Amino acid sequence: MAAETKAILRCAIYTRKSSEEGLEQSFNSLDAQREACHAYILSQRHEGWRHVDRRYDDGGYSGGSMERPGLTRLLQDIDAGRIDTIVVYKVDHPGQDCCLQTPGHVDGRDDPARLRSPRPKIDCQSKGS
């Protein structure tokens, strides 16, 4: 009997740090977040997870605002159907981070994008998935 083929989930890593402090370092907080998220994606490869090789970073931007270039690019790619899953390192203040306004929905959109995080491990699945 043939093994079941898992659907490919295109995973985007979104990183953010509200202050610019330390971002000038060769390895900074955004790099550490990205590295941890990439390892998480690799650990789920057997489930069909694949890393989208595009950076969605917002260093020095508050989570209380949607005016973030990395988030804007991410939302555009979700709207274009290029992203299935968003992986963030840690969800500290879900109410503060605008892209988490409704669990499982990015920016209140009713789309197929899912939010996942290794710290704490979360999986917010949108309706219809």
pLDDT at 104 over 90: no
Assigned CATH for 9-124: 3.40.50.1390
Name the pTM for this structure: 0.78
Residue spans of the domains in the chain: they are: 9-124
CB-based contacts of 117, cutoff 8 Å, min separation 6 = 87, 88, 89, 90, 91
Helix (H) or strand (E) holding 114: strand 114-118
Mean pLDDT, all residues of the chain: 79
CA atoms in the 13 A half-sphere facing the CB of 28: 17
Q: In the predicted model, what is the mean pLDDT of residues 83-90?
A: 90
**Rounded average pLDDT over 102-128:** 56
pLDDT in tens, 23-65: 888 889 999 999 999 999 999 999 999 999 999 999 999 888 8
Strand, coil or helix: 121: strand
Q: How confident is the model at residue 66 (pLDDT cuts 50, 70, 90)?
A: confident
